A = this chain, B = another copy of it.
Amino acid sequence: MKISELARLAGSNAETIRYYEREGLLPKASRSESNYRIYTAAHLERLIFIKHCRNLDMTLGEIRTLLRFKASPEENCGEVNRLLDEHIEHVVRRIGELQELERQLRDLRECCPDGRQAAACGILEGLSQPSLEKTPGNHVPGVHASFANNINKS
């Protein structure tokens, strides 16, 4: 099959597939006489695997690791477990951060009943105040640009 059919079957998109090939996540496809990429069921299977991992918000690096373990079945899967445990930990930490963030945003929103002028806006005032302390933590990202977006668009 050609690239757009593969994309359709995997619920993905052609540019992303070419990108994965460049990144070494998908093996290079064979080519037709006219230099079109030709894919097999094995490619589809692998692409779906990658998609599942992305739906679980894994990085391409993590997915590469998983693919290596899939390719060498003699190895112990403790590494796979470890990777997943770490990933779960990131997600849990991020949830905590976002809950704290939500609390702060709602506090801020309370400051300003509707219909005031910006000069008297409690929100702008609140954001100028030297409070709003930092929270600790590392690795696990933002609120915009989304996992949800990825899922919808693919």
Residues in A lying within 8 Å of B, measured CB to CB: 11, 45, 48-49, 52-53, 55-57, 59, 66, 69-70, 72-78, 80-81, 84-85, 87-88, 90-95, 97-99, 101-102, 104-106, 108-109, 112, 114-121, 123-124, 127-130, 132, 134-152
Contact = CB atoms under 8 A, between A and B. Distances in A.
Q: Can you tell how many copies of this chain the complex includes?
A: 2
Q: Identify whether the interface residues of A are mostly helix, strand, loop, or mixed.
A: helix
A134 B23 CA distance: 24
A141 B143 CA distance: 5
B73 A118 contact: yes
Contacts of A115: 76, 78
B152 A136 contact: yes
